[in-house]
Amino acid sequence: MSAGGHGSGPGSGPPVARGGRLTTPARLWAVLFTAVVALVAVGATCGATLAARQDSETRSAATAQRLLVNVDELYHALADADATAATALLVGPVPPAPMQQEYLSDITQAEDALASASRDLAGDPTASARLSEVARRMPLYTAEIATAQADNRLGFPVAGAYLREASKLMHDQILTRVKDVADQETAAHAHAQANASGFPVWILVVALLAVLALAAVARELSRSTRRRVNPGVALGVLVALGVVVWSLVAVSSATAGVHRAQADFDRVEAMLQGRDDLALADSYQSLTLVDRGEDGGADFKAEQAALGRIDLLKLDNASGLALAKVSTGMNQVSLTVQDGDYSKAVDMVVGHGGKAAPDTVSATSAACDAALAAAYKADQAAYTADAGAAGSALGGGLWIGPAGALLAALAAAYGINRRLAEYR
Amino acid sequence: MQGRERRERGMASETRRGGARRGRGSRRWALPGTALATVCVLSACSGGLVEVGAHPSVAVPQPGSVVTGSPSQAPAGSAAACVPAALSLRPTAGDAASADVTRIKERDKLIVGVAQDQYLTGYLDSSGVESGFDIDIARQVEQAIFGTQDAAHIQFKAVTNAQRISALQTADPNQAVDMVVDTFTITCDRANQVLFSSVYYNARQRLLVLKNSGYKSLDDLGGKNVCAQYGSTSLERIRDHPSHPIAYGVTNLTDCLVALQQGQVDAISTDDTILAGLARQDPNTAVVGPAFGAEPYGIAVSRDSPGLIRFVNGVLEQIRGDGTWQKIYDNWLGPLLGAQQPPPAQYAH
């Protein structure tokens, strides 16, 4: 770079030297501009990245996770209602009051959860359409169950036909749609978690470009001013470096927190799924006893499939032990069914004459559901804490990045302006 | 439907043709337009057979779903020589001491395969006790063997249609039964696999309709949905009837009653005994029309138990003569099917 162009300061005409080359002040202005842009870009990128991750984590914890849990509660309430209705039919003409109460409570919970999920997902046309379908079919389901109960009171086998039809409606048309919404929310939650924990590539790219730009600035300053170091630019670089390092540390810390939260949530999902599959297994077991083998074993297969879907490795000890009892009980029932002794099998499920006993499959299943619910709540609390910690680690990103960038830019501009002043 | 055993043969026949059947199901919940379209499509493509079943999706018409032939007839080549109602063994004086009966006495329990979901013939009553026409017939055999009727000397095992023969043939003591009393129609084909008693009831295929429908016979049901059980000859008779009703198949016969109550079918056609049970469950329905097709019910035992079947025939002879049969019939079926006499016994030997 030429050192010529003396006297061509600001306001004295185009800062162009002879031969089309920029004058030194013009080059200093260009250097100043480059340094400021590079430093602001670094700060802005760090700030934006941290803010976006914090937003994703917040949405993940506060919205997607809550929606997913709500939708799953809807699923569980519906599945449990169906299992209770089917089991009640096995007891006899008049099911015990607690069983009837549980069915009504499940239906009420399902209606509440459906209303809540519909409100939360009002802006999502796909999910809303699915939930609307659920809302339309629920009255049909409860009407079928009411007819089954009325026929059962009279001792009519047609009660079983209405129960089968209602259960089919529940399994094939209602629960599948709720599951679709749950899958959609699971994907949204996973997407938000991924956004909050991915590699901070843009920070590194912009920081690298800024390093190149600032190296060029330093080189140009050195050649123009014959000074090795510009204190202002050096300070700006140090501040920007601090912002980058802080951002990377925050991202790393937050990512670890997000991974912990994800592990918590995986367990929450396993517990929720376990409760759902347990209710489905209960329902199919009762349908097997209602059908008395006329379904060709389809309900038994569905019962075994539901039990098989429960991931034992993700359950806590209490839930795992409770599930083992349920599984043992259901296997004993199936052996009794194979022998054609349906009356004994019914007693094994609901107790003789519907009298509750702790060793019936219904009782062990209820205990398992309670264990899963307790574990799910504990894991959800852990998830909330870890997700909150992950968000907190990113908390300063909104102001440290921009503030650091501003400070760095001001320092660099000040330093270069001192050199520019020599030409005024 | 003409006897539950038909379902087995019908199903086997379907399997041979490679057809995938649909069970009872959720099609009832399809939109009315969809349901109507389905009925129309299936009736056009599968010779008038409409399927509903256990599977959630709408059944795709397939050649294998069309029921053809008449499973209640004897196999080709043996039809001329076979009279289903006259295939059984004549009772003799020493049957009570036969090895087959002695084995049951030593076990101190008669094991009987029955239906538990057919109202009035074989079902669990509101207190969970097996009840019905077939159950009471089985208890007469218990009475003859043990001199008493109580739960200690008889064990009822629920058998499905497909299990009725295998339960008599299996070597598994947990699943084997001594005899099957389950609206089991005697056919020549089945008589090659099990021993049948003399006929203890002559069922006939009839119609169940809503009382205010005005339908009196299949002649009035051209183009209308008429429900029957899969694999039954009832379904074929419906489809083959000159008035061209639309056959509407289900897995469980109680599903037919649901379909009738929900207006998805206009009538149900099966054995009069089963129709009587359905009619009892809905007082707005009635069994109407002439009978078409006889379905002789028999008690079945293993082919290895000729002594037992002779003994059973002796029991049937006795209850025909002493008024017990009449009492049982009048208790369960008489009020709905009208007065009937016990069918006379015929034997092969």
Domains with residue ranges and CATH for chain B = 20-62+202-294 (3.40.190.10), 87-200+298-337 (3.40.190.10)
**Per-residue burial over A215-238, b = 16 or more CB atoms within 10 Å of its CB, e = otherwise:** eebbebbeebbeeeebebbebbbe
The single-letter DSSP state of residue A18 is G
* Residues of chain A with C-beta less than 8 angstroms from the C-beta of B229: none
State the pLDDT at residue B151: 83
* A167 to A101, A257, B152: CA distances (angstroms): 19, 42, 36
CA quadruple A367, A369, A370, A374: dihedral positive or negative?
positive
Residue B16 above 60 pLDDT? Answer: no
* Residues of chain B with C-beta less than 8 angstroms from the C-beta of A346: 128
Interface contact flag, B56 A156, Cβ < 8 Å: no
- Tell me how close the Cα of A87 comes to any Cα of chain B, in angstroms: 14
Interface contact flag, A165 B282, Cβ < 8 Å: no
Cβ contacts of A271 within 8 Å, gap of 6 or more: A314, A315, A319, A372, A373, A375, A376, A379
DSSP H helical ranges for B170-284: 188-191, 233-240, 253-261, 272-281
Interface contact flag, A158 B252, Cβ < 8 Å: no
**Phi/psi at A93 (5° precision):** -60, -35
Place of tokens 């349920």: A326
State the pLDDT at residue B349: 62
**Chain B nearest-CA residue for A91:** B128
Beta bridge partners of residue B154, listed in sequence order: B110
On the 0-12 / 13-18 / 19+ scale of CB atoms within 10 A, A260 is middle
pLDDT tens per residue across all 424 residues of chain A:
333 334 444 444 445 555 556 787 888 888 889 888 988 888 888 888 888 887 777 777 777 777 888 888 899 999 999 999 998 888 888 888 888 899 999 999 999 999 999 998 888 899 999 999 999 999 999 999 999 999 999 889 999 999 999 999 999 999 999 999 988 888 887 887 777 777 788 888 988 898 888 888 888 888 777 777 888 888 888 888 888 888 888 888 888 888 888 888 888 888 889 999 999 999 999 988 887 766 777 888 999 999 999 988 888 899 999 999 999 999 999 888 877 777 788 889 988 766 667 789 999 999 999 999 999 889 888 888 887 777 777 766 667 778 888 888 898 888 888 888 877 6
Q: Which of A92, A160, A168 sits opposite B26 (nearest CB)?
A: A168
Q: Which of A137, A164, A340 sits opposite B158 (nearest CB)?
A: A340
Interface contact flag, B54 A298, Cβ < 8 Å: yes
On the 0-12 / 13-18 / 19+ scale of CB atoms within 10 A, A96 is middle
Q: Which of A92, A165, A296 sits opposite B28 (nearest CB)?
A: A165
Residues of A with CB under 8 A from a CB of B: 92-93, 137, 140, 151, 154-158, 160-162, 164-165, 168-169, 171-173, 291-296, 298, 338-343, 346, 353
* Helix, strand or coil, per DSSP, at residue B184: coil
Which of A43, A413, A48, A31 lies closest to A235, judged by CA? A413
Interface contact flag, A169 B174, Cβ < 8 Å: no
Q: Which of A140, A294, A353 sits opposite B29 (nearest CB)?
A: A140
Q: Which residue has the higher pLDDT, B29 or B328?
A: B328
Interface contact flag, A157 B113, Cβ < 8 Å: no
Encoding tokens for residue B33?
């337009």
* R_g of chain A computed on alpha carbons: 34
Encoding tokens for residue B70?
């008449």
Interface contact flag, A165 B125, Cβ < 8 Å: no
Interface contact flag, B126 A93, Cβ < 8 Å: yes
Q: Which of B26, B123, B280 sits opposite A172 (nearest CB)?
A: B26
* Residues of chain B with C-beta less than 8 angstroms from the C-beta of A137: 29
Contact pairs from chain A to chain B, CB under 8 Å = 107
State the pLDDT at residue A123: 84
Residue B301 above 70 pLDDT? Answer: yes
Q: Which residue has the higher pLDDT, B201 or A419?
A: B201
The domain spans of chain A are 27-421
- Tell me how close the Cα of A71 comes to any Cα of chain B, in angstroms: 23
Distance separating alpha carbons of residues A100 and A84, to the nearest angstrom = 8
DSSP string, A245-314: HHHHHHHHHHHHHHHHHHHHHHHHHHHHHHHHHHHHHHHHHHHHHHHTTTTTTHHHHHHHHHHHHS-GGG
* Residues of chain B with C-beta less than 8 angstroms from the C-beta of A345: none
Interface contact flag, A298 B113, Cβ < 8 Å: no
* B294 to A75, B3, B31, B205, B290: CA distances (angstroms): 50, 10, 39, 7, 12
- Tell me how close the Cα of B345 comes to any Cα of chain A, in angstroms: 31
Mean pLDDT across chain B, nearest whole number? 78
**Chain A nearest-CA residue for B256:** A161
Interface contact flag, B54 A168, Cβ < 8 Å: yes
* Residues of chain A with C-beta less than 8 angstroms from the C-beta of B258: 158, 161-162, 165
State the pLDDT at residue A353: 65
Interface contact flag, B157 A340, Cβ < 8 Å: yes
Residues of B with CB under 8 A from a CB of A: 23-26, 28-29, 54, 56, 113, 116-119, 123-128, 155-163, 167, 174-175, 177, 251-252, 254-255, 257-258, 277-278, 280-282
| Ramachandran region, residue B147 (left: φ > 0; alpha: ψ -120 to 50; beta: rest) | left
Distance separating alpha carbons of residues B196 and B182, to the nearest angstrom = 12
On the 0-12 / 13-18 / 19+ scale of CB atoms within 10 A, A214 is buried
Residue B67 above 70 pLDDT? Answer: no
Q: Which of A92, A339, A340 sits opposite B128 (nearest CB)?
A: A92
Interface contact flag, B281 A342, Cβ < 8 Å: no
- Tell me how close the Cα of B321 comes to any Cα of chain A, in angstroms: 33
- Tell me how close the Cα of B119 comes to any Cα of chain A, in angstroms: 6
Distance separating alpha carbons of residues A389 and A376, to the nearest angstrom = 20
* Residues of chain B with C-beta less than 8 angstroms from the C-beta of A294: 117, 160-161, 251-252
Q: Which of A334-348, A408-422, B25-39, B130-144 has the highest mean pLDDT?
A: B130-144
Encoding tokens for residue B93?
């004086």
